[in-house]
Amino acid sequence: MSQDKQWMENERENQQGIPEKTQITKKNETPERTEGGKDGGGRAGGKRPKGVLGYVFVGLALLCFLAAAVITLTYQREYDRLQLMQETVSASGFFPGILVYGQDVAGLEYDQAKALLEQVLAEEDALRVVNVQLDGQTYSLNIPATHNLDEVLISAFNVGREGELEERYQIITGLQDSPMDFDITTQLDDSGVDAFVAELAQRSLVPAVDATVSDFDPETRSFTFTDEQTGRQLYADHLREQIDLMIKNDDFSRTLTAEFEELLPSVTKAQLESQNKLLASFTTTTTSNSNRNTNIRLCSSAFNGYVVAPGEVFSINDLTGPRTAAKGYKDAGTIRDGILVDEPGGGVCQVSTTLFNAVVRAGMEIVERHNHSWPSDYVEVGMDAAIDYPAKDFKFKNVSDSPIYLVAIFEDRELTVEVYGKPVLEEGITIELRSHVDSTIERGEDIYEFDANLLPGETVQLRKGRDGKVASTYIRYMRGDTLVEEKLLFKSNYPAIRAKYGYGPEIIFDDTSGQ
């Protein structure tokens, strides 16, 4: 039994133990009548009649009864109040006046309230979508969200459930006049935004297109160019800023429109027209030997109009392959072991030499070059470039960031090689070559070899003798007539060649004749 109920029971027992006070009157006894101031049982100013005492007792009894009644009523009211408080604080579910995220959850159990709020949050989460309009199409990205729903529900549910009975009751009843609304904190996840923006940037990218040389006509030395095209790319940083603002404000009500920045080509048609020009030219004169000239024409026409890509290494042997009679090459003089002999392709070294002198003056890098057994008579010493498939090759590298174009013209016994393209040299700079003979190597004594097929006393020169030479070739960078820089390009070693003769048997004289 609670203390409150025990107190009420004790009060009832106390009230039942109070005796009633009544006035007792003897039978057939009549009270004496007295008159004031007279004898006969009383005198004026004497004692009060005995009946007054009874009234006093009655009055006291009434007072006690009234006090008991008041106490009983007070207890009942307190008891009823305690009962009401106990019933109020013992109610299940959320108390009236509790709202969560604006939703009235009064009377709902915890799981019911959670289900209600999860639905509300899910509907809001479904609206957290970034929409971007791009080229007439809408691309969307859902922004995931996390909520502290359980934490908030527990706090709301515990309102009025902590503290003393009176305190809890006051909190619960106070909700009627001052409801409590518990807000839910939402955390948005922007981790997918970067990938989304990058995908849109890739999807919408229109690269700029540079103007190009679409054709080169070696006959007219003219170029045909394609037009440049302007591109575009997504203004990604700006789009990301707009999305970040939407996430920050938790406002996804509007559709974003993709914005672009222009991409300009790095090469325009006008630039190509001004840049692609004659870089260098070199001419050599050939002999009147028709076979040799045929070989020069075949070999030079192989690279006429050839386009050397940026960074490409050009090889004349790779281009022509073996220079054989089957390909139309004629027998003409070529050097073998210091002896000039006729064989198919003789004379093509003049082609590689002319090409070398043109490309080196155009600023190209010489990768492979060989000198002859003796200096050529169509260029200065040290400026030749011998080829002999497959042992000796001439190679150069295009060091420009643009293609270069080779032109070879053979007319009236003159071979000219021209190089066209974008200049690699500083404006106003040209290249010249200078060669210097460093030393001469004496050829030594002539060589004589017996040849039984020769007539007695006959002598035939099999090979001319030549003194050897060591020459240095320098590359000179000029600004007009002023030398800016000079450096060694390479050295050429022309070996000494001893003359060689063949001789026949000795002549024998008959001394006995006439004796």
User: C-alpha dihedral over 364, 367, 372, 378, to 10 degrees?
Assistant: -10
Going 93 to 95 to 99 to 105, the CA torsion angle's sign is: positive
β-strand partners of 321: none
Is residue 276 within 8 Å of residue 420, measured between CB atoms? yes
β-strand partners of 256: 132
Within 10 angstroms of residue 172's Cβ, the number of other Cβ atoms is 20
Q: What is the pLDDT of residue 513?
A: 54
Q: Quote the tokens at residue 120.
A: 């509300």
How many CA atoms within 13 Å lie on the side-chain side of 331? 4
Q: What is the pLDDT of residue 245?
A: 97
Strands across the sheet containing 129-134: 137-142, 129-134, 256-257
Is residue 473 within 8 Å of residue 490, measured between CB atoms? yes
Q: What is the pLDDT of residue 233?
A: 97
**DSSP result, 157-224:** HTTTSSS-HHHHHHHHHHTTTS-EEE---EEE--TTHHHHHHHHHHHH-B--B---EEEEETTTTEEE
Q: What is the pLDDT of residue 62?
A: 84
Residue extents of the structural domains in the chain: 3-23+48-89, 98-188, 193-272, 276-503
**DSSP result, 351-407:** HHHHHHHHHHHTTPEEEE----SS--SSS-TT-----BTTTB--EEE--SSS-EEEE
Q: What is the pLDDT of residue 30?
A: 42
Q: Would you put residue 367 in left (φ > 0), alpha (ψ -120 to 50) or beta?
A: alpha
Show pLDDT as tens, one digit a residue, over the chain (515 residues). Answer: 444 444 345 444 444 443 443 343 434 444 444 444 444 444 444 555 567 787 888 888 888 888 777 777 777 888 888 998 999 999 999 999 999 999 999 999 999 999 999 999 999 999 999 999 999 999 999 999 999 999 999 999 999 999 999 999 999 999 999 999 999 999 999 999 999 999 999 999 999 999 988 999 999 999 999 999 999 999 999 999 999 999 999 999 999 999 999 999 998 999 889 889 999 999 999 999 999 999 999 999 999 999 999 999 999 999 999 999 999 999 998 887 677 888 999 999 999 999 999 999 999 999 999 999 999 999 999 999 999 999 999 999 999 999 999 999 999 999 999 999 999 999 999 999 999 999 999 999 999 999 999 999 999 999 999 999 999 999 999 999 999 999 999 999 999 999 999 999 998 776 665 54
Q: Determine phi and psi for 2, rounding to 5 degrees.
A: -70, 160
Rounded Cα–Cα distance for residues 98 and 121 (Å): 18
Is residue 403 within 8 Å of residue 310, measured between CB atoms? yes
Q: What is the pLDDT of residue 27?
A: 40
What is the pTM for the complete model shown? Answer: 0.61
Rounded Cα–Cα distance for residues 212 and 5 (Å): 106
CA dist 164 to 84, 157, 168, 399, Å?
15, 17, 6, 92
3-state SS class at 79: helix
Q: Rounded to 5, what percent of the chain is helix, strand, coil?
A: 30, 30, 40
